[in-house]
Amino acid sequence: MTVVVTRRRVALGDVDKVLAFYCRFFSWMDDGIAELLHALGHPLSGLLHAGYGMPVVDTRCRYERPVALDDVVQLQTAVVAVRRTSFDIGHVMTVGGERVARSSTTHVWVARSPELRASPCPTGSAARPPCRRDMRAP
């Protein structure tokens, strides 16, 4: 099972006065997804070059504690569900070992040519890894 861990210090551009601006969490999730794809051997650039994509069709984030300027956010990212043409990626964010947010994104696997259309998710251990259901956003 692949769980990718990324870290980021909260910078001035991340805060709304003194606390992390809510939409920055989604940017951090995107960073985690990019790192997860690399760890699985399928960087997004390669998927796009091969004619595939994975647009987000649903997302959610449950904020549990405030995140402040200079906090170091640790983000754990993993695949949490795989269906025929869609899959979910879950994220757990912590600061100093305490959970500050849980979030998830639902993606549809698409073939981009000749026109955009949903396509069955790839099979195989690297492309379809075991799932971490405990990382879903509520």
pLDDT band per the 50, 70, 90 thresholds, residue 135: low
Whole-angstrom Cα distance, residue 78 to residue 89?
Answer: 6
Give me the helices (H) in the chain, please: 24-39, 44-49
Give the mean pLDDT of 1-23: 86
- The rounded mean pLDDT for the chain is 87
User: The domain spanning residue 60 has which CATH number?
Assistant: 3.10.129.10
Whole-angstrom Cα distance, residue 90 to residue 104?
Answer: 4
Q: What is the pLDDT of residue 129?
A: 47
pLDDT band per the 50, 70, 90 thresholds, residue 32: very high
> pTM for the full model?
0.83
Whole-angstrom Cα distance, residue 87 to residue 108?
Answer: 7
Which SS3 state, helix, strand or coil, does residue 114 take?
coil
Residue 66: other Cβ atoms inside 10 A: 11
Cα dihedral 40, 32, 119, 85, rounded to 10, equals 100
**Six-digit token pair at 97?**
């070992």
Q: What is the pLDDT of residue 88?
A: 93
pLDDT, greater one: 126 or 56: 56
Total domains in the fold of the chain: 1
Give the mean pLDDT of 86-110: 95
Give the mean pLDDT of 77-93: 92
Domain that includes residue 77, residue range: 4-135
